[in-house]
Amino acid sequence: GQNIDQPTEMTATEGAIVQINCTYQTSGFNGLFWYQQHAGEAPTFLSYNVLDGLEEKGRFSSFLSRSKGYSYLLLKELQMKDSASYLCAVVDSNYQLIWGAGTKLIIKP
Partner 1 sequence: SQTIHQWPATLVQPVGSPLSLECTVEGTSNPNLYWYRQAAGRGLQLLFYSVGIGQISSEVPQNLSASRPQDRQFILSSKKLLLSDSGFYLCAWNPSGQGHSPLHFGNGTRLTVT
Confirm or reject binding of residue 105 to partner 1 (CB under 8 A): no
The CB-of-101 to partner 1 minimum distance in angstroms stands at 4
- Cβ pair 28, 69 in contact under 8 A: no
What are the backbone angles phi and psi of residue 43, rounded to the nearest 5°?
-65, 145
Q: Which residues face 53 on adjacent strands?
A: 64
CA distance 2 to 79: 34
Per CB under 8 A, contacts with partner 1 among 38-77 are 40-45, 48, 50
Task: Pick between residue 29 and residue 70 the one whose CB is nearest to partner 1.
Answer: 29
Query: Which residues make up the interface to partner 1 (CB under 8 A)?
Result: 4, 30-31, 33, 35, 40-45, 48, 50, 87, 89, 91, 95-97, 99-102
